[in-house]
Amino acid sequence: MKETVIIWTTLVPFLLLLWFSQRMSGLTGVSGLALAAVVSAVAVWFPWFGHPLPFWSASLSANFSVIMVGLLIVAVFDRAFETGIFRPRDWRAAWIFGAVASVLLYPSALGLGPQNFDVYALGWPWLFWGQSVWLFGGAGFAAALLIWRGNRFGYVIFLAMLGYAAGFQESDNIWDYLLDPVYGAVSLVMILWMVWRRRAGGPLVPTSEGASGR
């Protein structure tokens, strides 16, 4: 097991707990963040059913995406410092990216769609050579376009690309750096919520407060 995977499977439950404890406590600022971090760190290393949370986190998945982790970090910092790192359009880009990628990837991974083709196979660095280039290049292009247009979600995609180049995760497949079932499911729910809000006459996108968890 790569050492980076241990870091990753520790970081993900820690950030999730941090985010939840911020929401539950209502604390903000440095002191709030520090308190939530201490509580989360204790909970992460507490032996739940004989093992700390990283053990159970790895059991569930060792390949939580870089993008999900990036979004969690943004949400945590936005709540702690009210910095508004992500604006509504940045969140909207994140949910659209996650929803589109999920619709492209998961049905195929379950064996649906064109029977003898798996979209996930495009994510291996060396297997389907000609086609894989389009996936790598496509992710880079999406990041470049968003950054160029001033959308901050582009930086998160860029980080995922860098994480992939560094071989940070257990997986060698680039899809696992860009997407995971949790991020995909949340994205689909958020897109449906946005559509419902629009049909109900509300704004198309959530406010920065709502989207960042406030």
Partner 1 sequence: MKGEGIWRGWLAAAALLAGLAPWWMARDEGTKSFPGFLVESGTNGAATGPFFRTLQVNAGSRHAKSHSATLAELPGGVLVAAWYAGSGEGAADVAIYLSRRYADGAWSEPAAVITRERAQADLRRNVVSLGNPLLLADDSGRLGLLFVSIAAGRWSGSSMNLAWSEDGGLTWGTARKLTMNPLANLSALPRNPPVRLAGGGWAVPVYEEFLGKFPETLWLQPRGKDFSAAVSRVEGGVYILQSSLVPLAPARAVSFFRDFRPARWMSASWSDDAGRTWTKPAVTGLPNRDSGLCAIRLSDGAILSAFNDLSPGKRENLRLALSGDEGRTWRTIATLAEEAGSEFSYPYLVRTSDGTIRMAYSARQKQILLAEFNEAWVYEQAEASR
Q: How far is residue 60's CA from residue 65's CA, in Å, rounded to a whole number?
A: 13
Binding part of the chain for partner 1, among 34-42, 54-62, 69-77, 90-98 by CB under 8 A, reads 54-62
Q: Which of 55, 77, 81, 168 touches partner 1 by CB under 8 A?
A: 55
Residues in the interface with partner 1 (CB under 8 A) total 65
Residue 148: is it exposed, middle or buried by C-beta count within 10 angstroms (0-12/13-18/19+)? exposed
Q: What sign for the dihedral angle of Cα 198, 204, 206, 207? A: negative
Q: Does 63 bind partner 1 (CB under 8 A)?
A: yes
Q: How far is the CB of 104 from partner 1 (least distance, A)?
A: 11
Q: Which is nearer to partner 1, 25 or 59 (CB)?
A: 59
Q: CA separation (Å) from 37 to 30, 97, 206, 212?
A: 10, 29, 27, 18
Q: Which of 25, 59, 83, 207 touches partner 1 by CB under 8 A?
A: 59
Binding part of the chain for partner 1, among 31-39, 89-97, 172-180, 200-208 by CB under 8 A, reads 172-180
Specify the residue for token string 């909207």.
92
78 closest CA partner among 41, 32, 124 = 32
Specify the residue for token string 């492209």.
104
CA 83 distance to own-chain centroid? 20
The residues that bridge with 51 in the sheet, in sequence order, are 48
Q: How far is the CB of 119 from partner 1 (least distance, A)?
A: 9
Binding part of the chain for partner 1, among 17-25, 81-89, 150-158, 185-193 by CB under 8 A, reads 150-158
Q: How far is the CB of 116 from partner 1 (least distance, A)?
A: 5
Q: Which is nearer to partner 1, 46 or 117 (CB)?
A: 117
Q: How far is the CB of 87 from partner 1 (least distance, A)?
A: 15
DSSP 122: G
3 state DSSP class of 48: strand
As a residue count, the chain comes to 214
Binding site for partner 1 (CB under 8 A): 1, 6, 51, 54-56, 58-63, 105-106, 108-118, 120-121, 124-129, 132-133, 136-141, 143-145, 147-148, 150, 154-155, 157-158, 161-162, 164-165, 170-176, 179-181
